[in-house]
Amino acid sequence: MTKETKKQETSEITIKFAGDSGDGMQLTGSLFTNNAALFGNDLATFPDFPAEIRAPLGTLSGVSGFQLHFGSREIFTPGDRYDVLVAMNAAALKVNLGKLKKGGTLIVNTEGFDSKNLKIAHYDRPVPEEDDELKSSYELIPIQVTKLTRTALEGVDLSNKEKDRCKNMFVLGFLYWRFNRDPTTTINSLKKKFASKPVLLEANLAVLQAGFNYGDTTETFTVTYDIPPAQMPEGLYRNIMGNEALVLGLIAASERSHLPLFYGSYPITPASDILHLLSRHKNFGVKTFQAEDEIAGIGSAIGAAYGGHLAVTGTSGPGMALKGEALGLALMLELPLVIINVQRGGPSTGLPTKTEQADLLQAMYGRNGESPVAVIAASSPGDCFDTAYEACRIAVEHMTPVIMLSDGYIANGAEPWKVPEVEQLSPIQSVTPESPEEGISFQPYSRNENLTRAWATPGMKGFAHRVGGLEKEALTGNVSYDPANHEYMVKIRQAKVDRIAQFLPKASINKGAAQGDILLLGWGSTLGVLDSTTTELIDKGLAISHLHLRYLNPFPEGLPELLANFKTIIVPEINNGQLSKIIKERFLVPVIPFNKIQGLPINKTELKDFIYALLESEENGSIKS
Amino acid sequence: MEALKAKDYATDQEVRWCPGCGDYSILKQLQTVFAQLGLDRDEVTIISGIGCSSRFPYYMNTYGMHSIHGRAPAIASGLKMANPALDVWIITGDGDGLSIGGNHLIHLLRRNFNVQILLFNNEIYGLTKGQYSPTSEVDKQTKSSPFGSIDHPINPLALALGADATFVARTLDRDPAHLRDTLSRAHSHRGTSFVEIYQNCNIFNDGAFELYTDKATKSDYTIDLKQGEPLVFGKNADKGIRLDGLKPQLVELNSSGYSVSDLWIHDEKDPTKAHLLSRFFDGSLPRPIGILYQEDRPCYEDLLVSQIDGATEKLGKGNLDQLLKAGMTWKVG
């Protein structure tokens, strides 16, 4: 039996997969994402999951979600609202319904709405099939996913519990039918994942196919959607997550600097994947060390840096607090060291699996004494590669600790990434010491024209010297309590970091004109939303531009001049106004903060609303900054 | 090249410990041992934390780092991973190594990096001017414990054995020959050599170890461990330790009917005996000095290197271009 289906073309779709944290929503989302990427769509993802590994079944707090925005045009963000919501149970629907577009598609697993689920989720509506309001507002597709999954697996030698674990594949299969997708990439992924478990492989493939067939054969489904490939610059692409790109950036820096890579770290969400991924690449000579605590993580990295390695430590906010004293030692010793902070909601343990940009002031100032270090921030999953590479370059070439800020949103988010050519990555040159003249002992703290000292490492003949955390005499590095020497050393350590700016690209506008009414000034993971908001508002006729900062200490040259070109500067951040504070203090310009502190990325709608409200009050003459 | 003398391992920096401090003796003996062993100054790195003893690196003409409080083991671990060929010595104290840095110490020991760690135990905080330390005895009156300390002290050697240290020894600042021998043995051990050195702080805790160092009492209150020899001690070598099952028993050799042949024979390879020796701690039995325990176990840095070699053999030497282009890729244009 065949049926008539109509194909409809559309330029972008946002899907939210939501279910219990054990329902496999992250895997389902990732598989769809890889499929869309290989097909040539541009995309952005946003996984959102609870801190508990297995939160109580059916609860609101246990809902795990994966949001995917893909399209045939340029995609900047995971999307504000959903075109399609997959809700595997009542809790998932309750948590996510508010963001489903009116008229959007709502796919529900009806078996996730039994009395137990309704009670646990405090679900006070009728079940979806009997919910007239739901039916009139959305395209409701109720599916008995568990039953259909078990039917597809009749005769397969698995327990019902094991069979039920395949039900995410049913949903995925159905969506592949709905969006006219070839499931081959997923079939290949499953073959790899279950290579040693043929029964599970067979089961997953059978359920995937059953879901696809369900769409294909059920009479009521008459429309499928095509999202053609996006126009992207020529090149080789792969889909990449932030932490994955960061790891590649570190390995690339190690290869291009000819310095072995050392990574000392203690597991912490959302930075642990850096340790996991790096530990797989020992054949690049990468040394990973799971330290006994955060302090030993950075301590071991300082030891490795002293020993001549490209040394890196990684953590998230609470771990960063623990590393503070050792970071001070590294800057006092003037050793190259990269410290990665994949930020999460704070303070204290805060929101471990949610995103935030609230560790900027900690990075800039969070140490005792006058203690400048370089600070740079990644702005998208793919940009984690370039930023990690830059962090290594600055650390090695300027003999300084560099803090690299990422966050949970881009660490776990994914986007298509144009793979760079190795020879186009600028080589990284460390500062090697010149042999001291006969009879003159080596001066470890003499400096070159960049105020950088040379990197003499234990084992090098003729350079034996002592370093330490006590204030040191300018050239010899010997302990010195001389008042004038201390002031000189404080100033020279500051000047050294300031001088890095001479080696950075000048500040430039990301989008829009170099002058105008409004400048959106941002840093880190807000790049996508600031860029797309700016694009949209320029189209609406506003004189608005976007400038995004990768380099936060030192700031790039030319920044104050650009800031002066705009009547109003808006600084949107996922914190309570940290870059705002720094910009006001540093450049004495008024700025208007836009702050969201909900553990979630900023979305375009709320930012646009804010800008329009601001313009309105400006017209009324009431604007104050 | 002419052989280096002890003074060649000294720097031009003025040594700034209090006159009479036990650290002077340790510094001198370590320089002597370096000369005896003919160590290459460019291959040696001395890493310390914070405290009086941690000033040590500034006075040794080798590579060195005076780091932060308690963290020297972590830093030394990283250095040793970066360059396993280096000869790394960690200098710490009872506060640095057992209080603020206690966590790093146990992990250093269990991982068994090939380093020496010398813990100068003076049972007091010196650099902060006289508070009780984690090895101070109960009831000790100090600036921070005017009514006496209520802290139960740490037994450093029992702690080290509990962390599966592969070389555990105790020596004294005032016994230069014993100190040199112990340091020399520590250096020849491949693995983490933990050496507790009883060190007199003549300003804040003078005479803490006098029983063990004073000529008049030393032989009655200490027992010098020698591999394969019976546990005999006392001024006239008239006392010994025998084992009654797993219970150490002090015997008078002349009056009790026991002879030397009944005594416990020291075996530094025996972990059970080492644990018993580490428990000679409450004053009823003589304090053992020398090497309590030694075992051969692979070092962390060797395992790390061989794992990297193994991975390289299995996966082939890493190719960056291939790594970047790995996974599912597609071409545009």
Q: Encode chain B (333 residues) as per-residue pLDDT tens digits.
A: 679 999 999 999 999 999 999 999 999 999 999 999 999 999 999 999 999 999 999 999 999 999 999 999 999 999 999 999 999 999 999 999 999 999 999 999 999 999 999 999 999 999 999 999 999 999 999 999 999 999 999 999 999 999 999 999 999 999 999 999 999 999 999 999 999 999 999 999 999 999 999 999 999 999 999 999 999 999 999 999 999 999 999 999 988 899 999 999 999 999 999 999 999 998 899 999 999 999 999 999 999 999 999 999 999 999 999 999 998 899 988
B158, two tokens: 């029992």
Residue in chain B closest to A252 (alpha carbons) equals B320
Residue where the block lists tokens 């948590």: A95
Nearest to B79 among A283, A458, A466 (CB): A458
User: Closest approach of chain A CAs to the CA of B209, in angstroms?
Assistant: 31
Three-class SS state of A179 = coil
Q: B115-136 pLDDT, tens per residue? A: 999 999 999 999 999 999 999 9
pLDDT at A623: 47
Residue window 13-72, chain B: list those with CB within 8 Å of chain A: 13, 41-43, 45, 47, 50, 57-58, 60-69, 71
Distance CA A70, CA A577 (A): 31
Distance CA A615, CA A399 (A): 46
Nearest to B57 among A38, A422, A466 (CB): A466
**A268: exposed, middle or buried (Cβ count in 10 Å: 0-12, 13-18, 19+):** buried
The answer to whether residues B27 and B55 touch, using CB atoms and an 8 Å cutoff, is no
User: Closest approach of chain A CAs to the CA of B62, in angstroms?
Assistant: 5
**CA-to-CA separations, A601 to A82, A111, A528, B42, B231, in angstroms, rounded:** 15, 32, 10, 52, 71
User: Closest approach of chain B CAs to the CA of A468, in angstroms?
Assistant: 4
pLDDT at A624: 45
Inter-chain touch A466–B79, beta carbons under 8 Å: no
**DSSP state at residue B99:** I
Q: Parallel, antiparallel, or unpaired for β A287-290 and A261-265?
A: parallel
Query: Which residue blocks in A500-577 are alpha helix, DSSP H?
Result: 527-539, 559-563
φ, ψ dihedrals at B207, nearest 5°:
80, 15
For B88, half-sphere exposure in the C-beta direction (CA atoms, 13 angstrom radius) is 32
User: Closest approach of chain A CAs to the CA of B173, in angstroms?
Assistant: 25
User: Closest approach of chain B CAs to the CA of A287, in angstroms?
Assistant: 8
Residue in chain B closest to A465 (alpha carbons) equals B63
pLDDT at A569: 98
Residue in chain A closest to B318 (alpha carbons) equals A284
Burial per residue of A137-147, b for 16 or more beta-carbon CB atoms within 10 angstroms, e otherwise = bbeebbbebbe
A68, two tokens: 């995917």
Residue where the block lists tokens 């934390």: B49
Q: Parallel, antiparallel, or unpaired for β A374-377 and A401-407?
A: parallel
**DSSP state at residue A220:** T
Task: Return the amino acid letter for B161.
Answer: L
Inter-chain touch A458–B318, beta carbons under 8 Å: no
Cβ contacts of A465 on chain B, cutoff 8 Å: 63-64
pLDDT at B1: 61
Task: Return the amino acid letter for A258.
Answer: H
Inter-chain touch B82–A287, beta carbons under 8 Å: yes
**A381: exposed, middle or buried (Cβ count in 10 Å: 0-12, 13-18, 19+):** buried
Cβ contacts of A238 on chain B, cutoff 8 Å: 325-330
Inter-chain touch B67–A233, beta carbons under 8 Å: no
Element at B46 (helix H, strand E): strand B44-48
Element at A28 (helix H, strand E): helix A25-39
Residue where the block lists tokens 């520590």: B186
Rounded to a whole number of angstroms, the CA Rg of chain A reads 27
Nearest to A469 among B62, B68, B324 (CB): B68
Inter-chain touch B320–A422, beta carbons under 8 Å: yes
A420 touches chain B (CB under 8 A): yes
φ, ψ dihedrals at B69, nearest 5°:
-60, 115
pLDDT at A49: 82
Residue window 105-144, chain B: list those with CB within 8 Å of chain A: 107
A104, two tokens: 């959007």
A333 touches chain B (CB under 8 A): yes
Inter-chain touch A285–B318, beta carbons under 8 Å: yes
pLDDT at B44: 98
Distance CA A53, CA A57 (A): 11
Q: Which residues of chain A have pLDDT under 70?
A: 1-2, 621-625
B257 touches chain A (CB under 8 A): no
B246 touches chain A (CB under 8 A): no
Residue of B16, B47, B330, B331 for testing the chain A interface, max A β-carbons within 10 Å: B330
Nearest to A34 among B83, B323, B328 (CB): B328
B177 touches chain A (CB under 8 A): no
**DSSP state at residue B137:** P
Q: A299-348 pLDDT, tens per residue? A: 999 999 999 999 999 999 999 999 999 999 999 999 999 999 999 999 99
User: Closest approach of chain B CAs to the CA of A237, in angstroms?
Assistant: 5
Inter-chain touch B71–A296, beta carbons under 8 Å: yes
Nearest to A292 among B47, B81, B107 (CB): B107
- Note whether ipTM > 0.90 here: yes
